[in-house]
Structure 1
Amino acid sequence: MFFRITNLQKGFFYLRSISKAYSMSSYQTLKIESHKEFVFNVQLNRPGKANAMNSQMWIEIGKCFNELSENPDCRVIVLTGNGKFFTSGIDLYDVMNLGQEVANHDDIARKSQVIRKFIKTYQDCITSLEKCVKPVIAAIHNGCIGGGVDLIAASDIRYCTNDAWFQIKETEIGMAADVGTLQRMPKIIGNMSTFNELAFTARKFDAQEAKSIGFVSTVYETNESMLENVMNIANDIASKSPVGIQMTKRSIIYSRDHTVQEGLDHIADWNQILLQSEDFIKATMAVASKDKKPIFSKL
C-alpha cells in the first residue's frame, strides 16, 4: 500500500507552524513544570494545607487541563502533589462558604440551585482530566482522600508509593461522593462488591489493596523512585505519534460508555481520516527502514 501526503494535508498538519507560540496561564494553587520534551508535570501546590482542594484549586485544575489539552508542546501530563500529602480532599472552608451562600435564600428551589451550580462546576473541573486529549498519569504518595479519589479516577493511569492510602470519605461526613468517584471507579476496578464496601464504609485502603483491586498499576517504595519511573513512562508515551495517542484515549473513553459495536463504528469513522495522516506514513516508513524512533510533528 502506498500513501502520499497531498498539499491539502500538508497545509492542515503544518498550519500550527505559523501560529504564535503557546503560553500557559499563571496559577496560585498549581505548579506547572516541564523537564522533559512534551511532558508536563502538574503539581497540586498547597503543601501547607495538605493540598486541600479549595475553590481556587478546583477552578484552576479545570483551566489547566483545558489549556494543556490545546497546547501543542504537551503530549503527556503527570499529576503529582507537593508536600506531605497528595491531597487531603475538599477544603471544608469551601463547604462553610457554600453554606453561607445557601443561607442567603429562603426558598428551597433557590437554595438547591446554588448547590447544584457548585456541584456542576466541580464536576466539570474533574472531567477536564478525562476530556483532555493528552494522557494523564497520576503519581500518588501518602494520603489521597475524598476529592483526591475523584481526581485520580479521572486520570488515565495511576501509580502510587508504598505509603499511599486512599479513602472515599464522603459518607463519613454525611454526603455522597458527587464529582466522579461513584461513576468512574467501579468501571476501573470492575468489582462492584469491593467498590460498594469502600464507598459505604469510607474506610481507608492502602497501596497494596489499591494494587490488588486494579486501582493503581504499580506500587513504588519511595516517591523518588516513583517519579523517576513515571517520568520515563511519560517520556516513552510522548515519543509516540500524538495522532495515535490522542485518538486512542478518545476511543477508550468513548468505548467505555457505549456498546462494542458503537465503539467499533466510532474508531472506524476516525481512522478513515487518521490512516491518511503524516504520522501513519512516518511510522510505517520507520518500520520499513528499521528506524525505531520516528520524529513526529506537534499536534
Structure 2
Amino acid sequence: MAPSSNKVPSYASQFKYVDLSFPFENVLHVQLKRPPVNAFNEEFWREYGTAFDQIGQDPTVRVVVLSSAVDKAFSAGVDLSDLLALPRHEDIGRRALLTPAVHGVAFGLALDALGAVDVRWAAEDVAFSIREVDVGLAADIGTLARFPKLVGDLSWLYEVAFSGRVFGAQEALQFGLVSRVVPGSREKVVKAALEFAEGIARKSPVAVSGVKRFIAHALDHSVDAALEYQATWGAFALQAKDLSESAAAAKRKQKIEYENLGVLERRKAKL
C-alpha cells in the first residue's frame, strides 16, 4: 500500500485544533495541535468530538492513528480555565479502529480519551497521570469507567487514581494500560503506529470491524451471550465479498484489495 502524499479529507478544513491527513490509503492520521501542551478547553473538546463524528461517516477510513503535533505533550488534560464548561457525560468511545501514539505529558482528560481506544502505544518518554483528584474531581469522562476493564491490577489502579502520581511507559506496560513501548519520543512512536495501521488497513474491513465489536461486546456479556452475538454478526459477514475474495486470491497466490465498508454495511455492523 503506497503513501498517499498526505491527502486531506474534505471535512478537514473546519478544524482549528485537529489536523487530519491520509499518510497511507485508508489510514487517517489525527494530530492534536493546541500548543504548548494540547490542553483541552471547551472549543477544543467539542471540535475533537465533531472530528470523530465526521470520521465515523467516512467509509474510506479504516484505521485512525491519534497523536500530538506538539513536541512537549500528547495532552496535559483539561485547560483549568474551562474546567466547568466541558461536558461531563459525553461518551468519547468511537467505532473506528483507533491507535493512539502517546508521548510526553498525558494527564487527566488524555487518559479518559485513551481508555476509549483499541491499541495503545507509548513512547518511552511518556508521563501519565490520573490528575483529576488534584483539582477536586474523580475522573468522570471515561478513565474510571473503562480502566477497571483494561488494567490487570485494581490495587494499582486505586493507587494511581487516589494519588494522581506520575507513572511512566514501563509501568503502564506492566499493568496493561499500553501494549507496546517504543524507544524514543514523538517521531518514533508515531512512525511505528502508522506502520502498524498501514498493515491493518490492508486487511478485510469486515473482519477488522468484527474483531473490534466481538471483543467490546464480550467485555460486558457472558460467553453464551457473546457467542450468540457473534453468530448473528457473522451471518452478515458471510454475505460480504471479503471471505470469498480472500479464498480466491489465496488460491491464485495474489494479494487482494478489499472494498471499503459501505454505509449500509456499517449500519449492519452495529448489530
Q: Which among 277, 283, 288 is matched to residue 246 of structure 2?
A: 283
| Aligned equivalent of 2:88, options 111, 119, 130 | 119
Question: How far is 1:149 from its partner?
Answer: 0.4
Candidates 139, 159, 165, aligned match of 1:177: 139
Counting aligned pairs with the same residue, the percent is 35
Q: Does 1:254 align with 2:223?
A: no
CA distances 1:5-53 after superposition (whole Å, capped 9, x unpaired): xxxxxxxxxxxxxxxxx732521111111111000011111023x1001
What's 2:20 paired with?
32
Q: Secondary structure at the match of 1:65?
A: helix
SS of residue matched to 2:215: helix
Matched, 1:162 2:124: yes
Aligned partner of 1:230 in structure 2 is: 193
Residue 50 (structure 2) aligns with: 63
Q: Distance in 2 between matches of 1:95 and 1:153?
A: 20
Alignment partner, residue 64 of structure 2: 77
Matched letter for residue 284 of structure 1: A
CA distance in 1, matches of 2:251, 2:192: 30
Distance 1:230 1:152 in 2: 14
Deviations 1:158-194 (A, max 9, x none): 1111110100011111111000000111211121111
Of 206-215 and 139-148, the range deviating more from structure 2: 206-215
Contact 2:41 2:83 in 1 (8 A): no
2 CA distance for matches of 1:288 and 1:267?
27
Amino acid at match of 1:168: I
In structure 2, the partner of 1:42 is 30
Q: For 2:151 and 2:253, locate their aligned partners in 1 and report how far apart those are by CA, in whole Å.
A: 39
Task: Tell me the distance in 2 between the aligned counterparts of 1:273 and 1:207.
Answer: 40
Q: State the 1:213 CA deviation.
A: 1.0
Counterpart residue type for residue 92 of structure 1: L
Deviation of the 1:290 alpha carbon: 2.5
For residue 256 of structure 1, report the CA deviation from its aligned partner.
1.1
Q: Which residue of 2 aligns with 1:267?
A: 230
- Find the structure with the greater CA-based Rg: 1
Offset at residue 243 of structure 1 (A): 1.1
Aligned-CA RMSD value: 1.5
Partner of 1:3: none
Instruction: Give me the TM-score of the superposition, normalised by structure 1.
Output: 0.80
Structure 1 Cα separation of the partners of residues 131 and 137 of structure 2: 9
Scaled by the length of structure 2, the TM-score of the pair is 0.88
Structure 1: which 5+ residue stretches go unaligned? Answer: 1-21, 99-114
Q: Secondary structure at the match of 1:72?
A: coil
In the other structure, the counterpart of 1:196 is 158
Question: What is aligned with 2:40?
Answer: 53
Q: What are the superposed Cα offsets for residues 83-111 of structure 1, whole Å, 9 maximum, x if unpaired? A: 11100001111126x4xxxxxxxxxxxxx
Of 23, 37, 44, 2:10 maps to: 23
CA drift at 1:71: 0.6
